[in-house]
Structure 1
């Protein structure tokens, strides 16, 4: 038992003024390819959206690894520098961990305490409170080196 549409070609020339070939919806294989293409495109869009936001677990791992990286690297300050805003360094350290997307993290310095940062990310409901304590190591000329002691709490600041 054969139908007329089984003899239709899978690809036909476009009727929109171009010379390209398109799937033929009158052929069962062409129709299946159209549906499959739409499903694949939808799946790709969903994957892109899901991978563009942080999960709570990704943020937690990234913040912990960033805290370890900040502690491992000495920081150099000028002699007259009383305060350093570590927000940028925190963001870079989180990005270098490789967890989550490479954007969407905010490290906001708390107004009432200059060494406390609230870390949030797009898509994550969790917030982390990072406290940085500077321990002086040595002074050379106009610069001094400090070691950072970093603690992280799983809460808003």
Structure 2
């Protein structure tokens, strides 16, 4: 996800276009920032506190008062899992919940988007990968 050291910060299905060659292209870098390595393993990322779309926002963006101390590379990994859920199911994450307030409450309670009931288009191996991306703890998400 981060072959270029930029955190998108607003990765949603609406911000991905497909070009003539069938390649995915990201758009809308309004909330993006550069991730600059500082002193060995630490990183500094500066971004907006407000995620672009609550349905795709990593829990740490919703629950933290200080986003500058967050592992920002993992924010986009979470959002990528949400996008994969949407691509494979045809429905946005949290599709069973209409209210942003209820989604936020669920996030504060430690819940994440659920596998749509009875959806045969998401095979178990894909769902297992999506679940890894959607882990509540950023350090447990894939790189």
Same fold (TM over 0.5): no
Q: Which has the higher strand share?
A: 1
Highest RCO, 1 vs 2 (Cα 8 Å, sep ≥ 6):
2
- State the TM-score, normalizing by the size of structure 2: 0.24
Larger Rg: 1
Scaled by the length of structure 1, what TM-score is found?
A: 0.22
